[in-house]
Amino acid sequence: MKREDYLSWDEYFMGIALLAAKRSKDPGTQVGACIVSPDNKILTMGYNGMPTGCHDDNMPWEREGDPLETKYLYVCHAEFNAILNNGGRSLKGATLYATLFPCNECAKAIIQSGIQKVIYMEDKYADTDAVIASKRMFDMVGITYEAYEVKHKKIVIEL
């Protein structure tokens, strides 16, 4: 008889997004993204980090103060990195698993790349203009978004 406690597709892909987030050097929020084809093949992944060649140790990670000395002007969002890491594969009709709801800038890239569905875990910036604008654009173009439904509270990976 087959195992019954195997991971669902959603758990598998969100689990991978959560694992990718663990690569983030951001002391504030670690975000992960995993983009999957309509036939459940992983196309690309990403996490929030500084642009390639901008060394993590030489970049600011502050949230406040002189804007030029905060992370916000420099950091690449997880969703943006995942889209850019596509390795030439088409993202048409794909689903994005994101550990945090995408901002308006990533929403634009999501739309332009042909992603059709967003499954997100957290939406802690729902009250910000960035996320409100993002949802406005998704609604306009018919990109669906749904909160990830947690079933297994814990996925243990022992090394």
Ligand X SMILES: Nc1nc(=O)n([C@H]2C[C@H](O)[C@@H](COP(=O)(O)O)O2)cc1CO
Binding-site sequence positions: 77, 103, 106
**Quick one: which of 38, 43, 137 has its CA closest to 84?**
43
Contact flag: residue 135 with ligand X (CB under 6 A): no
Counting contacts by CB under 6 A, is residue 100 touching ligand X? yes
HSE, side-chain direction, 13 A CA sphere, residue 67: 1
Which of 36/82 has CB closer to Zn ion? Answer: 82
Q: How far is the CB of 158 from ligand X (least distance, A)?
A: 28
Q: Examine residue 29 and tell whether it contacts ligand X (CB under 6 A).
A: yes
48 binds, among Zn ion, ligand X, none (CB under 5 to 8 A by kind): ligand X
* Residue of 4, 69, 79, 158 marked catalytic: 79
Is 102 an interacting residue with respect to ligand X (CB under 6 A)? yes
- Name the token pair of 111: 């739309």
How far apart (Å, rounded) are the C-alpha atoms in residues 23 and 13? 16
For residues 133 and 104, the answer to whether their CB atoms sit within 8 Å is yes
Known catalytic membership, residue 149: no
